[in-house]
Amino acid sequence: MNAVVVAVAVMLVLSLCRVHVVVALIIGAVTGGLLGGLSLDATLQAFQDGLGKGATVALSYALLGAFAVAIAKSGTAHALADRALHMIDGQRGGNTGKLRLMLLLMLLAAAMASQNILPIHIAFIPLLIPPLLFVMNKLYLDRRLVACILTFGLITPYMFLPVGFGAIFLNNILLANVRDGGLDTAGINVMHAMALPALGMLFGLLVAFFSYRKRRDYAVAGVAGGESPEKVVYTPKTLLVALVAVIAAFGIQLWLDSMIIGALAGFVVFSLSGVVRWRETDDLFTEGMKMMAMIGFIMIAANGFASVMQATGHIESMVTSSAAYIGDNKALAALLMLVVGLLITLGIGSSFSTVPIIAAIYVPLAMHLGFSPLAIVSLVGTAAALGDAGSPASDSTLGPTAGLNVDGQHNHIWDTVVPTFLHYNLPLIAFGWVAAMVL
């Protein structure tokens, strides 16, 4: 029995049984390590060695959280919520269908912008979503649909558009590792290679609109502790400062290619403008770190899990045994590559970290089977992106839960992980397989 498969299965089953994700990752890692032939000491050592790899990500999220709290203090999100409430109150006869659609499209645009236009990733969710929960409740929106929309916006842009995080994933990681695997990538249009898989994500999103179209009631009490969002004072000056801070963070981030420095720059703008008083900066940093603490710890634990899986050597054996089983059957090869990629990413929780693991073996195998260069890039990219949605340890699912569960009415596993797995991973397998066969 392959240790990776068992470890991922243990982690997923425990998560579905509502065991905390960090605990599930640790138990899954120990189970996989022992089954993979490692001693308990070696398993724990591999887990601990992997923890440091997640520290940079956790620090980045903590600083982005501080920047997000500063934006929230400016009242930008609350101004949007107040405007939405005013529009709801102005509706006659309860016809709020257009407002529901406008709100959902706005959230979709914000999520997509967080990957490419203003690459702050999930940091926008805890500052934008909580003030809008009261609005969602009045519109009877199913939060599972909102989770699917946010996850779509967090994944699809980076796997298709080579800008922002997409430039990192598509150019610096995907093409670079495929090239290291021995494939000549000269002249390959990566957007062309990933177009069909991205279309699969879009198909899943449209299905989610149908699946969760019915109204769903949530308790109003608990949203900001009362019958309306917590009141935050905002003025044209604070909103203007927020706009300047966002532009500064975006510009510096592109210039220095550093999310940390960009977030700090935006925070400095808030401090110098007086929107955030200097004596309040320490408290705001602490608040922002608390806001992103759970995500940071899960990402750290996920890196420990991934380190144990790599130490067992069973990732490579799973891929190579699959290759031996495939023979010369291209259709079966494409399907198994995608399924193995799904299993790996579900456990690791990061498509960015999955590419180097699978590219070294997938590229020579796909070249031997006669796949075209475009098909190989599509296969590796899709196999890595599979599982980013639907993984309990992925920030693409953790982020939406962090915003939607502030009132305790949105379960991470059953309201975010399961819906995103069903609506995105299954279409991705289908569309990714078609892409591999026709490109």
DSSP SS3 for 109: helix
Distance of CA 260 to the CA centre of its chain: 18
Residue (of 74, 140, 73, 133) closest to 107 by Cα position:
133
pLDDT of residue 106: 87
Look at residues 343, 342, 340, 350 and name the one whose alpha carbon lies nearest to residue 302. Answer: 350
How far is it, in rounded angstroms, from Cα 278 to Cα 234?
A: 18
Query: What is the pLDDT, as a whole number, of residue 90?
Result: 63
∠ at Cα 209 (207, 212), nearest 5°?
105
At 271 the pLDDT is 79
The pLDDT of residue 333 is above 80? yes
Q: Find where tokens 């905390």 sit.
A: 20
With cut-offs at 50, 70 and 90, classify the pLDDT of residue 257: low
Q: What is the pLDDT of residue 241?
A: 83
Asked if pLDDT for residue 280 goes beyond 90, the answer is no
Res 323 pLDDT > 70: no
Average the pLDDT over each of 72-86, 235-249, 295-309, 390-404 and give the range with the smallest value: 72-86
Q: Is the pLDDT of residue 184 over 60?
A: yes
Does the structure show a pLDDT above 90 at 152?
yes
* pLDDT attached to residue 365: 80
CA atoms of 221 and 232, how far apart (whole Å): 18
Q: Quote the pLDDT of residue 226.
A: 38
Q: What share of the chain is helix, strand, coil (3-state, %, to 5)?
A: 75, 0, 25
**Confidence tier at 329 by pLDDT (50, 70, 90):** confident
Name the most confidently modeled range: 61-75, 107-121, 146-160, 287-301: 146-160
The number of C-alpha atoms within 13 Å of 193 and in the hemisphere containing its C-beta is 25
> Other CB atoms closer than 10 Å to residue 227's CB: what's the count?
9
29 contacts 305 by C-beta, under 8 angstroms:
yes
Per-residue confidence band for 432, with pLDDT thresholds at 50, 70 and 90: very high
Q: Is-above-0.85 flag for pTM?
A: no
Count each helix (H run) and each strand (E run) in the chain, helices first.
22, 0
> What pLDDT shows up at residue 218?
87
Say what the pLDDT of residue 225 is. 38
E strand segments, 154-199: none
55 sits in which H/E element:
helix 55-74
Cβ neighbours for 187, distance < 8 A, ≥ 6 positions apart:
none
Q: Which residue has the tokens 């279409």?
A: 427
Per-residue model confidence as pLDDT tens digits over 24-57: 888 988 998 998 888 889 999 888 888 776 666 6
Indicate if the pLDDT at residue 253 is higher than 80. Answer: no
Mean pLDDT comparison of 214-218, 263-267, 315-319, highest-scoring range: 214-218
- The residue that leads in pLDDT, 154 or 288, is 154
Question: How far is the C-alpha of 304 from the C-alpha of 30, rounded, in Å?
Answer: 10
With a pLDDT cut of 90, the percent of the chain lying above it is: 20
Does the structure show a pLDDT above 90 at 254? no
**Measured CA distances, 369 to 111, 286, 322, 342, 365 (Å):** 38, 54, 13, 21, 6
